[in-house]
Structure 1
Amino acid sequence: MDTSFEYIFPAIRGIQAGREYYVSMCPLRLIPKIFIFDEEELVPELRAQRILNRSRVPEMASYLTNNTKDYVFSSITASIDGKVKFEPMGDQGDSSRVGRLKIDMNSQFIINDGQHRRAAIDEALKTKPELGDETISVVFFVDRGLERCQQMFADLNRYATRTSPSLGILYDHRDEGALLSKKVIANSTAFQDIVEMEKSSLSPRSRKLFTLSAIHMANAAILSGHAYDSFDEAVEACCSFWDEVYNYIPEWQQVQEGKLTSGEVRQSYVHSHAVVLQAFGHLGNEIIEKSKTEQKKHLKKLKTINWKRSNSKTWEGRCMLGGRIQKSSSNVSLTTNLFKNHIGLPLTPEEQRTEDAFNRGENGQK
């Protein structure tokens, strides 16, 4: 090499598409120092990756600093633009694939996948510098120009898919809201055996009536702004509300009893769709701290609502548009307003303004 200064990484050599690549472990403290981004002011065709979304970084950094005993970060993939030399431990077998990767210190490291992890590590080290001695796996490729880097980015993200919100909640054992929703489903009569725990959308043939993600969002709405002395108290408050609602919606009961299929209910009624569950959540937020007698007094009036989708006079413009279920924030608000008016709860000034606009036809209805 032209210089005596170089980075030395313990590495394993592999082959993909006939080209060598290297896997190493890098101390977190080095990640912000040696890995760079493309200049953000460059036009997209001259960059090798997307622009950093800085709004994602604080949450990722907090994840690191708040979970120092059990965080998990996947590998960073980077291209090396510079001189590289791999020195194997031996000439044959496994020893020829394990060794030291020497990289000229004048080289540039361009991240192909993991720029947000890199930024989060940089941010986390400012508050917890002791994380610097921990390591993250890095996959190194030898840079072969901008076009190759752009193709690598495209290939690395070609088949990347986000997990469904329901599956993310199901497998999250750290977030208290996720834990609460799973316990509510397990303990509530209303949700026994009719919740899809993995998918966040239901096919017409699904035997489930609700999704975990929809119930999770509704529970968050119920508890928003309320404080409970314990986790179990919050669970009980949600269970009590849902079970009382369940008493006045016979179709939910009939699905559990096998008298109706969930597909029939979802096709013919509005009350099992996420927008209505969310509206139930906002309704629950209003009455959850009332006595059980008061809750029952109000909620029993739900049984006189015509939940059929064919009842367009009630639902069109609130949770439906052109006969199709809609779930914008305004749809949730207007559906909540309908519930509150029906069971005798006053609207807040903001809710009243939304209702007045709806009645004037400003939502597109006449």
Structure 2
Amino acid sequence: MVQSSIDIGISFSGAAGNQFGKKIYTTMIPYKSIERFLVVFQDVQRNVNKARVKEIADYVLKGTNTRNYCFLSAVTATCRGEIEFDDQSKSVKIDINSVLSINDGQHRVEGIKLALNNLRKQVNNAKTDEEKLKLEEKLDYLENMCIPVVIFESMDKQYEQQLFHDLNNLAKTPTKSISLKFDNNDPYTAMAKELADENSYLIKYGVETEKTQLRENNPNLMLLSTLRNTISFMVCGSENDKSSVLTFENYDDIKATVTETFNEIFKALPADCNDRKKYIIGTAVTLQGIGKYVYTLLNDEEVVNWKDYIFGLQNINWKHDNKMWNGYGGSYDPEKGRFVFGGTGGGINGVRNALIENNHPIFSR
């Protein structure tokens, strides 16, 4: 048995190996131990983005709910101090005076710390014993979660800087549509994916789930991200549902309404509405603007039957050269032979306003 060179340390189960001549260790560190060991040194890291930290903290706290699909990837760090591997117990032992310098994952670590602090504040501010007990159980659950950590044996500053550079330089951010394709936490994204596979009209006209934009030869009507945002505009009137109008608790009821709405919309639109050369319908701005128009109808007390107004969309001239659209967030470009929106937000509101002012309900069908 090899004698340990570390007199006082903390051990975590793990493994050891080599990479490009450097000793590396992998282990799982509980969230409650993160604050003790994982440290950011500015000479080998960028400045922390507080907005990103808050976003991750919210994500971590959501992960404590019953229905969750929350995951955090491994943090990469360099041990500044003594570290060793006990082959007999299969554990990584870190000297009590050592720290792990974070090379990749500082926002994940700071997000976990913030989540823990926020939950501890909730425990202290609990108004009843029952509420406090539930929060304490939630805090204990969170504190004992673990994050995988890849640890490189002590390296000088130049190596740590290169490690940070390489880890970030080799990483590639997936396209927005691909990210949405694999996101199961956002109810709007979940609904968009389900409708893209289930709704006969969306299947017919097509939803692009991987590309970031629709080129001329792409037969699909819209991107998955456009469908997701259109649903969000229908339900809450915005791309971001800050008031949680849609939740997984009321998901089925709202999905039924959204499905019915899409059916009514596509019945009223031209049969060849996916012809982007002919109509403005194939632009993300128009589709989202229609979604926002639907929200206006559903929340207008003077509208007796919103379907009458949706049915009236069949009398709208959706062609690029229709002068009606001028002034509603864009203008016709004769060189391109298309109506061009000046901006996303202005275009969405422009389409909504154009329909409010020019669309008329049809009461008999």
Q: What TM-score results when the alignment is normalised by the length of structure 1?
A: 0.75
Matched, 1:233 2:253: yes
Structure 1, unmatched stretches of 5+, are 40-46, 90-97, 256-261, 346-366
The question of whether the paired residues in 2 share the 8 Å contact of 1:81 and 1:143 is answered with yes
In structure 2, C-alpha distance between the alignment counterparts of 1:224 and 1:325, rounded to whole Å: 23
Aligned length: 320
The question of whether the paired residues in 1 share the 8 Å contact of 2:176 and 2:212 is answered with yes
Q: What are the equivalent positions in structure 2 for 1:67-106 lying under 5 Å apart? A: 67-68=63-64, 70=68, 71-89=70-88, 99-106=90-97
Matched, 1:146 2:146: no
In structure 1, C-alpha distance between the alignment counterparts of 2:250 and 2:30, rounded to whole Å: 40
User: 1:105-125 deviations in whole A, cap 9, x for unaligned?
Assistant: 333321111112212222333
Letter in 2 for 1:83: E
Aligned in 2, Cα 1:245/1:292: closer, same or farther, shift over 3 Å?
A: farther
Of 33, 38, 47, the match for 1:35? 38
Q: What are the equivalent positions in structure 2 for 1:176-195 lying under 5 Å apart? A: 176-193=187-204, 194-195=206-207
Letter in 1 for 2:293: L
Equivalent position of 1:281 in the other structure:
291
Structure 2, unmatched stretches of 5+, are 120-138, 238-244
Shift of 1:60: 2.3
- Greater CA drift, 3-12 or 112-121: 3-12
In structure 2, C-alpha distance between the alignment counterparts of 1:177 and 1:279, rounded to whole Å: 17
Equivalent position of 1:202 in the other structure:
214
User: 1:2-43 deviations in whole A, cap 9, x for unaligned?
Assistant: 97333433332222222221111222211122111225xxxx
User: 1:113-156 deviations in whole A, cap 9, x for unaligned?
Assistant: 11122122223334213322332211001242322222211211
User: 1:214-260 deviations in whole A, cap 9, x for unaligned?
Assistant: 0110111111177899433312322232222222321xx337xxxxx
Aligned in 2, Cα 1:160/1:326: closer, same or farther, shift over 3 Å?
A: farther
Of 112, 120, 140, the match for 1:121? 112
Aligned in 2, Cα 1:60/1:227: closer, same or farther, shift over 3 Å?
A: closer
Q: What are the equivalent positions in structure 2 for 1:234-273 lying under 5 Å apart? A: 234-250=254-270, 253-254=271-272, 262=274, 265-273=275-283
Shift of 1:180: 2.5
- Greater CA drift, 195-204 or 304-313: 304-313
Matched, 1:220 2:232: yes
Q: SS of the counterpart of 1:192?
A: helix
In structure 2, C-alpha distance between the alignment counterparts of 1:36 and 1:312, rounded to whole Å: 61
Give the percent of matched residue pairs that are identical in Structure 1 and Structure 2. Answer: 25
Equivalent position of 2:46 in the other structure:
50
User: 1:301-320 deviations in whole A, cap 9, x for unaligned?
Assistant: 43343333344773577246
The question of whether the paired residues in 1 share the 8 Å contact of 2:32 and 2:144 is answered with yes
User: 1:322-354 deviations in whole A, cap 9, x for unaligned?
Assistant: 554554212222222112111159xxxxxxxxx
Of 12, 22, 26, the match for 2:25? 22
Q: SS of the counterpart of 1:267?
A: coil
Aligned in 2, Cα 1:308/1:189: closer, same or farther, shift over 3 Å?
A: same
In structure 1, C-alpha distance between the alignment counterparts of 2:32 and 2:16, rounded to whole Å: 24
Equivalent position of 1:111 in the other structure:
102
Q: SS of the counterpart of 2:92?
A: strand
In structure 2, C-alpha distance between the alignment counterparts of 1:343 and 1:311, rounded to whole Å: 14
Matched, 1:336 2:352: yes
In structure 2, C-alpha distance between the alignment counterparts of 1:157 and 1:321, rounded to whole Å: 43
Equivalent position of 1:318 in the other structure:
329
The question of whether the paired residues in 1 share the 8 Å contact of 2:57 and 2:111 is answered with yes
Q: What are the equivalent positions in structure 2 for 1:162-181 lying under 5 Å apart? A: 162-181=173-192
Task: Give me the CA root mean square deviation.
Answer: 3.2
- Greater CA drift, 171-180 or 265-274: 171-180
Aligned in 2, Cα 1:247/1:130: closer, same or farther, shift over 3 Å?
A: closer
In structure 1, C-alpha distance between the alignment counterparts of 2:48 and 2:246, rounded to whole Å: 37
